[in-house]
Amino acid sequence: MKDPLDSSCVKEPVGSGVADRRLAGRDPGMPDRAPPEPPRSTDEELMTRFQQGEAAAFEKLYERFSGPILGFLHRQCGDRETAMDLQQDVFIKVVTRALSFQHQSRFSTWIYTIARNSAVDASRRAVHRRHRSLEEKSRDSGPRLEDRLRGAGSMPDRSAIAGRLREDLVASIDALPADQREVFLLREYHGLPFDEIAEVVGAKVGTVKSRMRYALEFLRRELGEYADYARTLS
């Protein structure tokens, strides 16, 4: 006869954590697993919920797109304060034009179209906006990268080269024609496929691909000296 005080004779009531785990065939000593996270809502699903009056859905869209939109506008207009003003204008339009989004395209296409049009309008208003160009600081008339490095007295580390490359890359992107620059930014910095870019800029896919090709050819020419330097490291 078992000792009635033996803990093995004590049954846990159904509904307790230990009893439930035993009934489910799990080790009662193991902690309960956290429930799986719900699947991430798509941009289009969030927009539908916002159109139905859910303010939290707009907040999530803002979290996803505020940074990328600001970056795109900054590259387009060249001034961060102007880009921040345009970013605010873009999201105001998302709110006021929410019901005009008919889900015939992706939300990213729609919002980048708004951002692109805002940048174009701002550019037209700022007729006297100054542009940095490679013609004004032509590398052809100045010393090549290798000569600049020799003049420094010693070879700088790769982080210094990377810093100069970033500066020259920004200048080169700024020097692209506007139609090529926007295609390059949407493709390389924001990851939009060519068919979406075509919708954003209002051009055929073939035209968009051509603009991208011309942009890449220009950048390769302007940044070719870095390729020369890279070969000296191999």
Residue 171 sits in a domain whose CATH number is 1.10.10.10
Dmax over Cα atoms in the chain, in whole Å? 103
Q: What is the pLDDT of residue 31?
A: 56
Low-confidence ranges of the chain (pLDDT < 70): 1-38, 126-162, 228-234
Q: What is the pLDDT of residue 129?
A: 46
SS3 (DSSP) at 14: strand
Number of compact structural domains in the chain: 2
Report residue 119 as tokens.
């940048």
In a shared domain, residues 119 and 149: no
The whole-angstrom separation of Cα 189 and Cα 76 is 12
In a shared domain, residues 82 and 154: no
Q: What is the pLDDT of residue 168?
A: 83
In a shared domain, residues 87 and 121: yes
Q: Is residue 136 part of a domain?
A: no
Q: Is residue 63 part of a domain?
A: yes
Residues 6 or more apart whose CB falls under 8 angstroms from that of 213 comprise none
Q: What is the pLDDT of residue 114?
A: 96
The rounded percent of the chain whose pLDDT value lies above 70 is 65
Q: What is the pLDDT of residue 34?
A: 57
In a shared domain, residues 116 and 152: no
Q: Which domain holds residue 82?
A: 43-125
Q: Is residue 27 part of a domain?
A: no
